[in-house]
Structure 1
Amino acid sequence: MSSPLVPSFLPQDAQTDAALPDPARILELRVNPSSVRLYPAPPLSVSNDTLAATALTPGTASLDIPSLCLLRGTLDDFLQYSRQEASKWLIDLAHDICDPAERRGSLLAWKEPEKQWRPVSPIDPLTASVYRYDLPTGITVGLSKISLRVRKSATTLSGQPGTMGDRVRRRDGMCWVTRMLSPLSNSHILPKRMGDHLGRLIFGKFTSFGASNLPPPASIYSEVFGVCLTSNLDRYFDTYDMGFRYVSPNIYECHVFTAQAGTVTIAGEASTTEMASMFPALHGHPARPPQPQHPDNPPPGLFRWHYLQCVLRKFAHNDYKSLANIAYSEMPIKMEGDSDDEGTDSEAEWPSKGFDLGRQVEDSLAEREERRHATAQWIAAS
């Protein structure tokens, strides 16, 4: 076990005194910086599996700081999402941030009267404390990268037979949450701008634990990366404002991460109390696959990844968000189903057909600058 670090509740985000929450109600998740390795700058174009692996492989550089804060918020906010899971919820999130494939670490909590770190059991209640994810001596990790969804692909509404949206709608036939038959959107669990190569690596890392040890699909357009939702719910899912928390096989629970979570219903945000009373609340509402035994349903591990992004969007600390190269590369490459795809529907032709390498590199440079600007805006708004 690594040497103990006495925690501090002093906030590290720049806030005015009037904006500071009561320190006695704050929960923090930390990790020892000596266990973390930073990522090198990603390649300009992630055009094969080797380059994708390079982008997701931490280098040798480490941080020269005493402690690294990963998540921070009020206990009341965390309790909205941990619900009946108690500390298991935070343990799972700590694994997914630090070591999703192997889960080699353990969670400790600082006990103030004893002035020492104590192991956390999954059934322990969450408290306003400093928690620390502790990795075995000699084990170093790269923290899970953060998806900013810098830009959204423009997709034709009708699509062509055989595209991902058509296959997902044929598989599901109704919304996972509302059970409505129309209008339906194909909600992407991973942004399709990540491309095949990053998609396969994320799939492998997050579905390798437990019974979901499945071979990665060949394409980001496999139906396992999609889920049918109504258009109202798709916009929450697409921006990481709603995620599916695994409950049991084929049963999930919707968690809403907007500041107005209490006013969001399964029909969308309610503008009046009367409207809110007409529909069930979205937060805590069950979500289920319409065809539970379908072989191409998304595995729980993909929803784990998406749910982690929701948590990071709400609770990630500036220490974490400011790390070098911590955002995923989401390249502006030509995508099947985009409105400018000239009608092609062949997966064999995508993404190599019509590529112009010079334009792709130029677009990638613009994308990197756009991603840097988006990261700066996100950190400044925290």
Structure 2
Amino acid sequence: MDVAAAVTTIPTAADPTQYIPLLQGAAVDIDRFSGAEQSDWLLSLAHDICDPVHSRGVLCVEAPNHTWRQITVSEPLIDQTYLYELPPTVVIGLSKISLRHNKSATSTTGAAATMRTAVLRRDDYTCWISRTRATTFPNSHICPKRMEDAQALYILQTFCGYQGPNVGVFHPMFGIVLSLSLDPLFDTYQLGLRNIGPSHQYRAHLFRTGEEFNIMGSSDPPGFPFPMPPLHNYIVNQPPTPGHADNPLPGLFRWHYLQCVLRRFATETYRRQSNISYHEIPLRMEDDSDDDTGDDDGDWPSASWDRARLAASEAEVEKQRQSAVIAWRTEVH
């Protein structure tokens, strides 16, 4: 998939539109996740990558004679190039942001332990997927702890439309209870929950290749008389405690699911872009599931874009504040 106007480069007369390929995969591989959504699955991801607040782009497919045809709703995906086209006046910048990890181990540990207790109690010590119960289950972070508060709040506002009081990354809504077997998959973006209902209904998608798991996060042993449901495409109809005020908003799972897709399908061209910072996700990010000291230096797949959007938002707020000050001084004098 190519995305129009997704990088701040200077257009030329011969090619006024700049493109950067974002996602790449065989149709048979992508069909594993798109399912009945088909082209709507790809369009929603393009929105989340490029324009998560306004979703102003349209999805086109390459037609004969190097032209583009806008696709219809839920059109089947094929082995072809897709273009996410934004209005001509919309430009999305990809910025390289300095990475700083300066949260103290003491404050991190205390906040994480408090969050874990709150999440376990909210979910009644019950795994969201398998519905097994245990007091030893970890708190699985939807947004990584190293993201810190300002970035987590901005993602909450961007992907959920949140307009409530300021909350930090250790608020219970940023965590869920998963079993000890499923937690590592979720923390490394190999397991995502795709929102498929008007509220809290999700479809589990397993992005790990080469091995299938059941909802317990394991394989059924040979001769097992009662096979467990497969993890991939398993439907989670509601949280363990429906209606709880601190349940995660569906948009947070939307952001986490995007990280799973980028980890699996992001193109090498995107990863090598000179004006963005992209980091491979380690196979294990213990800091996000175990409430220990210290912070992992690894980043989530869309870290550079998330930081760029936050920086742009903060710059716009400061610009408006400065304008207000100048206007006030002009009125006074």
Other-structure match for 1:221? 170
Partner of 1:264: 213
Q: What is the one-letter code of the residue matched to 1:241?
A: Q
Distance 2:129 2:218 in 1: 15
2:177 counterpart SS class: strand
Question: What is aligned with 2:203?
Answer: 253
The answer for the alignment partner of 2:32 in structure 1 is 80
2:3 corresponds to which of 20, 31, 55: 31
For the residues of structure 1 that align with 2:93 and 2:250, how far apart are their CA atoms? 22
Q: Counterpart in 2 of 1:121?
A: 72
C-alpha separation between the residues in 1 aligned to 2:188 and 2:11? 30
Deviation of the 1:144 alpha carbon: 10
Shift of 1:62: 5.8
Unmatched segments (≥5 aa) in structure 1: 1-28, 38-59, 342-362, 376-382
1:199 matched to 2:149 = no
CA contact (8 A) 1:108 1:118 kept: yes
Aligned residues: 278
CA contact (8 A) 1:200 1:217 kept: yes
Question: 1:85-134, CA deviations, whole angstroms, 9 ceiling, x for partnerless residues?
Answer: 1111011001011111111111001123x642111122211111110000
Code of the residue aligned with 1:322 in structure 2: it is R
The alignment partner of 1:268 has SS state of coil
CA contact (8 A) 1:107 1:133 kept: yes
Q: Which letter does structure 2 place at the counterpart of 1:116?
A: T
- 3-state DSSP class of the match of 2:181? helix
Q: Does 1:240 align with 2:212?
A: no
2:132 matched residue in structure 1:
180
Query: CA 1:304–1:340 in structure 2 vs 1: closer, same or farther (change >3 Å)?
Result: closer
Q: Distance in 2 between matches of 1:144 and 1:292?
A: 39
CA-to-partner distance for each residue in 1:162-206, whole Å, 9 max, x for gaps?
700010011111111011111422100010011111111111111
1:291 correspondence with 2:241? yes
Find the aligned partners of 2:111 and 2:53 in 1 and give their Cα distance: 36
Matching residue within 119, 123, 145 for 1:168? 119
CA contact (8 A) 2:112 2:170 kept: no
Q: Is the 8 A contact 2:149 2:169 kept in 1?
A: yes
Instruction: After TM superposition, give the deviation of residue 291 of structure 1 in Å.
Output: 1.6
- Give the letter for the 2:256 counterpart: H
Which moves more between the two structures, 168-177 or 286-295?
Answer: 286-295
Change in Cα spacing, 1:116 to 1:160, as seen in structure 2 (3 Å) is closer
CA deviation after TM superposition for structure 1 residue 63, in Å: 8.3
Q: Deviations over 1:127-159 (max 9, x none)?
A: 11110000001211136999x9x9xx999xx98
Q: Identity across aligned pairs (percent)?
A: 38
1:230 maps to which of 179, 182, 201: 179
What RMSD over aligned residues (CA atoms) do the two structures have, in Å? 3.6
Task: Tell me the residue number matched to 2:320.
Answer: none
5+ long unaligned stretches in structure 2: 282-286, 304-333
Q: State the match for 2:276 in structure 1.
A: 325
Opposite residue 39 of structure 2, the aligned amino acid is: S
CA drift at 1:67: 3.1
1:90 is aligned to 2:62: no
Runs of 4+ in 1 over 2 A off after TM superposition: 60-67, 142-146, 158-162, 213-217, 271-278, 323-328, 337-341
3-state secondary structure, aligned to 1:71: coil
Contact in 1 for aligned 2:6/2:19 (Cα 8 Å):
no
Do the aligned residues in 2 keep the contact of 1:154 with 1:338 (CA within 8 Å)? no
Counterpart of 1:132 (choices 47, 70, 83) is 83
CA distance in 2, matches of 1:142, 1:177: 37
C-alpha distance in 2 between matches for 1:271 and 1:154: 40
1:282 matched to 2:231? The reply is yes
CA contact (8 A) 2:185 2:191 kept: yes
**SS of the residue aligned with 1:325?**
coil
Does structure 2 conserve the Cα–Cα contact (< 8 Å) formed by 1:36 and 1:141?
Answer: yes
Q: TM-score, normalised by structure 2?
A: 0.73
Q: Output the CA distance in 2 between the equivalents of 1:178 and 1:228.
A: 10
Deviation digits for residues 330-363 of structure 1 (CA, Å, limit 9, x no counterpart):
9xxx99x95449xxxxxxxxxxxxxxxxxxxxx9
SS of 2:148's partner is helix
